[in-house]
Structure 1
Amino acid sequence: MRKWHRWLSVFFGIFLFWIAATGLLSHWAALWPVAESAATAAASEPPPAFECPEGWRCRPPPPEGSVRGLVGLFHHLHSGDSFGPVGIAISILSGIALLFFAFSGLWLYVRMWLNRKHRRQSPRWFWD
């Protein structure tokens, strides 16, 4: 299990870093504060030919040139849509790899902990 954990992490580490970075940028852009005057101006003008469905809370589009306008771009980069079917496949495989790393890392830790216990060493939670 350790060999698989090590070799897959070399390959998928790059993609997991990409997914984490674009996910953080997407949330950062969504939480970016909008200037008070731009928010009230956008709220007073509904977009043309758009009606908010009943029971939904619709937001006005972000003002042009604001950071919030980048949320869609970051989402497409995050999900792999920008790179076509290959990007989506890599994104799905990276999610599966993340589950594998979580499971195999926990498995390796428990095995090392039990191994120390069977060798009559102190089975501490963390060791050098």
Structure 2
Amino acid sequence: MRKWHRWLSVFFGVFMLWIAVTGVLSQVAVLWPASEPAGAARAAAQAAATPPPGFECPEGWRCMPPRGNRTGIRSMVGLFHHLHSGETFGPIGTVISVLSGLALIFFSISGIWLYVQMWRFRKNRKLAPSWFWK
């Protein structure tokens, strides 16, 4: 198990770092404070939010007003999501993203398993039991 844990971590470590960074960036972009549009941009955003005269939402549809203009880092949320999911790189990117997620599950389970084995070994040899080794 330890051999697989080491070899797979060399390959998938790079991809998991990519997924972690783009995931954090997408959340930062969502939480980033919105900048208030000024002047003409504010008027254009208000005009876009009101539906044209005579517009009715079709039956069975859920119509929502369009979102305001996103500026700055908030405008990059979609880009970060596509980079995070691997969609930017096509089907191969999506497959690598899914495999990296599965590798993360494997590393979590195998890491716990390795830790339990080392803990049991230490306990069976009558060494000082402790949660962490020096």
Assess, with a 3 A threshold, how the Cα gap between structure 1 residues 43 and 33 changes in structure 2: closer, same or farther: farther
Q: Distance in 1 between matches of 2:111 and 2:50?
A: 50
Computing the radius of gyration over CA atoms, which structure comes out larger, 1 or 2? 2
Match for residue 45 of structure 1 among 45, 48, 65: 48
Q: How many residues align?
A: 124
- Residues 33-80 of structure 1, C-alpha deviation per residue, up to 9 Å, x if partnerless? 112346x933563177796926x7x661433x4211100000000000
Identity of aligned residues (%): 56
Equivalence for 2:67: 60
Q: 1:22·1:75 contact (CA, 8 Å) conserved in 2?
A: yes
- Root mean square deviation of aligned Cα: 2.6
What residue in structure 2 maps to residue 94 of structure 1? Answer: 100
Match for residue 34 of structure 1?
34
Alignment-derived partner of residue 116 in structure 1? 122
Report 1:72-83 matches (<5 A).
72-83=78-89
Aligned-partner Cα distance in 2 for 1:121–1:10: 32
- Give 1:20 deviation, angstroms: 0.2
Q: Unpaired runs of 5+ in structure 2?
A: none
- Structure 1 112/59 Cα, relative in aligned 2: closer, same or farther at 3 Å? farther
Taking a change above 3 Å as real, the CA distance of residues 120 and 43 of structure 1, as seen in their structure-2 partners, is: farther
- TM-score normalised by L of structure 2: 0.81
Structure 1 unaligned residues grouped into runs of 5+: none
Structure 1 residues 112 and 68, CA, compared in 2 at 3 Å: closer, same or farther? same
**Structure 2: how far apart are the matches of 1:26 and 1:18?**
12
* Letter paired with 2:48: E
Q: Which residue of 2 aligns with 1:103?
A: 109
For the pair 1:85 / 2:94, whether they are aligned, the reply is: no
